[in-house]
């Protein structure tokens, strides 16, 4: 758990240590709770299936594709526990979940 003051910003980094040549990390789901054993009844979503669900949550530029960083404002309870699912994909594997469901897609013609 992190111990925080109400409305304090928390910065969260995740790093992949791997020998894979073309990794890309992204946050799939991240949930915050005051209880490390209960991430359902007293929890709130920060990110769910790649979409930000909390207005205080934001992504930060990462210097490499092996790092993902984001921040959020701490809730009103003094202890914050995180449960996150960070996915790693090959950056050139365009059939991956990352490209299929979570990447921002360009505009398409209505004829497509």
Q: Residue 64 belongs to what domain range? A: 8-94
CB of 62 closer than 8 Å to CB of 69: yes
Euclidean distance between CA atoms 27 and 86, whole angstroms: 5
Residue 22 inside a domain? The answer is yes
Alpha helix segments (H runs only) across 1-103: 97
Give the per-residue pLDDT at 93: 63
Q: How much is the pLDDT for 15? A: 85
Residue pair 52/58 in contact (Cβ under 8 Å)? The answer is: yes
Residue 106 lies in a domain: no
Tens-digit pLDDT string for the chain (112 aa): 777 787 888 888 888 888 888 787 878 899 989 889 999 888 889 888 888 898 888 877 777 778 888 888 887 788 889 899 988 877 776 665 555 555 444 444 344 3
State how far the Cα of 19 lies from the Cα of 28, in Å rounded to an integer: 22
**CATH code, domain carrying 28:** 2.60.40.4100
Regarding pTM above 0.95, the answer is no
- CA–CA gap between residue 84 and residue 103 (Å, rounded): 19
pLDDT of residue 96: 57
Domain count, the chain: 1
Question: Does residue 85 lie in a domain region?
Answer: yes
- Within a domain: 108: no
* Mode of pairing for the β-strands spanning 51-52 and 58-60: unpaired
pLDDT value at residue 79:
84
């Amino acid at each position: 758990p992190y111990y925080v003051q109400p409305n304090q910003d928390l910065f969260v980094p995740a790093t992949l240590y791997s020998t894979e040549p073309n990794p890309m990390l992204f946050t799939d789901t991240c949930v915050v709770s005051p209880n490390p054993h209960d991430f359902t009844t007293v929890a709130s979503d920060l990110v769910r299936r790649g979409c930000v669900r909390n207005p205080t949550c934001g992504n930060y530029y990462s210097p490499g594709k092996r790092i993902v960083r984001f921040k959020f404002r701490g809730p009103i309870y003094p202890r914050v526990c995180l449960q996150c699912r960070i996915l790693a994909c090959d950056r050139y594997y365009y059939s991956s979940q990352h490209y299929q469901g979570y990447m921002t897609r360009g505009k398409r013609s209505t004829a497509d």
